[in-house]
Amino acid sequence: DTEVTQTPKHLVMGMTNKKSLKCEQHMGHRAMYWYKQKAKKPPELMFVYSYEKLSINESVPSRFSPECPNSSLLNLHLHALQPEDSALYLCASSRLLLAEETQYFGPGTRLLVL
């Protein structure tokens, strides 16, 4: 089983709202990732967690706040977003944070900020 699940599938929010995206995997993977993907562009790395600790933050604005409550769950808390933050948000996981490890992606959350 190489499944990464994400909820919700779609999300519409206003610029003053607070919402959260959720990602879950039960493959025993210890590295989890958040990516942002705009239309016709490649996924861009936002955050990386390794063993539930934040390992990489790609200079993401503070209105995005990641959280890794346990080894299976990854959240992305959203607050005071801008319309340009509208995108597909992808979660991925890999067994470990190593160059030879495959990343498995979830189906994504399509976010629209009004």
Partner 1 sequence: QQPVQSPQAVILREGEDAVINCSSSKALYSVHWYRQKHGEAPVFLMILLKGGEQKGHDKISASFNEKKQQSSLYLTASQLSYSGTYFCGSRNAGNMLTFGGGTRLMVKP
Binding site for partner 1 (CB under 8 A): 33, 40-45, 48, 56, 58, 90, 97-100, 102-108
Rounded Cα gap, residues 81 and 46, in angstroms: 15
Q: Tell me the closest approach of the beta carbon of residue 68 to partner 1, in angstroms.
A: 17
Q: Tell me the closest approach of the beta carbon of residue 4 to partner 1, in angstroms.
A: 8
Instruction: Tell me whether residue 5 or residue 82 sits nearer to partner 1 (CB atom).
Output: 5
Strand 73-79 relative to strand 64-70, pairing = antiparallel
Give the pair of three-digit tokens for residue 14: 């206003």
Q: Tell me the closest approach of the beta carbon of residue 105 to partner 1, in angstroms.
A: 4
Instruction: Tell me whether residue 60 or residue 80 sits nearer to partner 1 (CB atom).
Output: 60
